[in-house]
Amino acid sequence: MSTKPLTARLNQRRERPVATVPRTVLVMLAAALVAQIALKILQPAPSARAEALSRPPTADTLRALSFGEPIALGALLTLQLQAYDNQPGISIPFAQLDYGRVIAWLESILGLDPLSQYPLFMAAQLYGQVPDPAKQREMCSFVHREFERDPNRRWRWLAHCAIMAKHRLHDMPLALAYADAIARRATQAPNWARQMRIFVLEDMGEIEAAKVLLGGLLASGEITDPREVQFLMERLKGLQGAENSSSPSRK
């Protein structure tokens, strides 16, 4: 009986040394691997085009196509939609996208997963940031519509739109309407959000208002996703930086 350990004997049985492989095969393997990698490196990186965004199927159709996994399909579609504008080099501005189609996609995704906040986050924080008042209004209108369907879960996106309406669109009645809607319909929203209409009526700078909103959101502890917290923290820091650089020195 052999005195070698069992594993050593098994290894000896299963695999022969590399030296048994003919040199031609080794050269062919190495050459093909190098050629494959070189070919891939020489190819340009993939890029998506804004016009490639097509109209989505309805939520019912997507639900049927999800094979009983609407949340997973919703998540995949969200990331797919995100990839259309979030390009390498950020070369495609959000403004170039067809907002009617973007909203249709966001609606379909919300139809698949109504509890997801991601589509509203994209609408308020990303697509709503373009320097185009018509498109900003379009996104805010979408957020408002969706807010009415589930106010207690979606109030914070409408709060963002209220600030946007006041300071970007300079549309005080619209901002007040959104703030009022939060105060009336979002009964479970924290006090600072429900009292926002007071802020809207005050004459504050945009940075100050955004700081209140973001700071309040972060302090409330409602946001638990660390990536979202990080994103908002970065925005808050950016706003503080902008405020410091624009304010005169007090020395």
Partner 1 sequence: MARYTLLEALRTRFPIMVLVAVALLLLISFFVEALAVTESARFQASVYAAGMRLAGVFIAALYVLVSIARELNDKGFDIVLALDLPRAHYVLGKLLGFLALAAVVAVVAGLPLLFLAPWEAVLQWVASLTLELAIVVALALFCMLTFSQLVPAASFVAAFYLLARSITSIRLMGAYPLAGAESLSHQVMSTLVEALALVTPAFDQWTETAWLVNQPAAWPALLAIGWQSVIYVLLLAAAAMFDLYRKNF
Tell me which residues touch partner 1 (CB under 8 A): 12-18, 20-22, 24-26, 28-29, 32-33, 35-37, 39-41, 43, 45-48, 79-80, 82-83, 86-88, 90, 126, 227-228, 230-231, 234
Least distance CB 167 / partner 1 (angstroms): 22
Q: Which is nearer to partner 1, 37 or 219 (by Cβ)? A: 37
Dihedral sign from CA coordinates of 238, 179, 128, 174: negative
Q: Which is nearer to partner 1, 29 or 65 (by Cβ)? A: 29
User: How far, rounded to the nearest angstrom, does the alpha carbon of residue 126 sit from its chain's CA centroid?
Assistant: 7
Least distance CB 106 / partner 1 (angstroms): 15
Q: Which is nearer to partner 1, 28 or 64 (by Cβ)? A: 28
Q: Which is nearer to partner 1, 19 or 203 (by Cβ)? A: 19
Q: Which is nearer to partner 1, 108 or 186 (by Cβ)? A: 108
Least distance CB 109 / partner 1 (angstroms): 15
- Between CA 141 and CA 76 the distance in angstroms is 25
Least distance CB 52 / partner 1 (angstroms): 11
- Between CA 84 and CA 26 the distance in angstroms is 42
**Burial tier of 94 (Cβ tally within 10 Å: 0-12, 13-18, 19+):** buried
Least distance CB 147 / partner 1 (angstroms): 22
CA dist list (Å): 117 to 89, 107, 225: 27, 12, 11
Reading phi first (left if > 0) and then psi (alpha if -120 to 50, else beta), residue 112 is in: alpha
Question: What DSSP state is assigned to residue 51?
Answer: G
